[in-house]
Structure 1
Amino acid sequence: MQRIDTLLSHVWMVRAFLKHSPEAEEDEELCEVHRTLYDYMLALGGPLKERNAAAYLAQARKKLSKLRKARDDFAALQPQVSTHTNFQMANASLTAAVDEIARVLVAAERDEARQSAISKD
């Protein structure tokens, strides 16, 4: 839970950058990317506040496909929107953070399965 929340700080910065960029005012698809990033983080806020790791991880898994789609959409849009270094770095940062979140979720699922198998023995 803590590792994902740390990674979400990168997602938040990309979201803030996109939201406040003049380019986003002109591009509805780009607006949809920053809205999706916000929705993902908002969905995890309650379980994080309650320190409910099981609910947090379940929600993170449930919404991961939308987060990945936002990553992919931004990667496709970015060269068309701007080739400025800030946009390139935002793309790299979002890609790295989302990929690492996915890896953390896979590892957590493996750990949960192992713990379940151990407790059945």
Structure 2
Amino acid sequence: MTPEDAVQRCNTILAHAWMVRTFLKHADEVQDNEDMLDVPRTLYDSIRAVEPAYQRGDHADYLRRLKGKLPKLRRAAEHFAAHFRDFSPHTNFEMADLSLRGVVRELEEVFSALALPPG
């Protein structure tokens, strides 16, 4: 996988993360819990951190920044997976969990394909 291919793939993956972020940002069930609100904040921070590099077409910087955010994304996904049922057993939360874990797994796969170990 070339760096350009990796950036395009990662940007698509991050689009899924953005949708999870949007759902959680507006989910009434989690609005009073700072730990759970850190999940959409982490997603926002990670996605926006790579945006300038994407706009410049700087693939190396994009991948470096995203690789640096990957541990935070992983922790956020793990926290969400461990605690979302405390707030709601609704299918929307289950699908957000599945999607967020998929985002992390797919990002890890992209970095593996680049021969760069995940963050």
Alignment correspondent of 1:43: 49
Q: Which runs of 5+ in 1 are unaligned?
A: 111-121
Matched, 1:86 2:86: no
- Structure 1 residue identity aligned to 2:51: G
Q: Which runs of 5+ in 2 are unaligned?
A: 1-6
Alignment correspondent of 2:66: 60
Aligned pair count?
110
Matched, 1:70 2:76: yes
Alignment correspondent of 1:26: 32
Matched, 1:4 2:10: yes
After superposition, the C-alpha distances for 1:11-56 in whole angstroms (9 at most, x for unaligned) are 0000000000101212111111110111100111111111110001
Counterpart Cα distance in 1 of 2:104 and 2:15 = 11
Counterpart Cα distance in 1 of 2:57 and 2:111 = 17
Task: Kindly indicate which of the two structures has a greater share of residues assigned to helix.
Answer: 1
Larger Rg: 1
Q: Percent identity?
A: 43
Question: SS in structure 1 opposite 2:57?
Answer: coil
Shift of 1:109: 2.9
Question: SS in structure 1 opposite 2:63?
Answer: helix
Shift of 1:106: 1.7
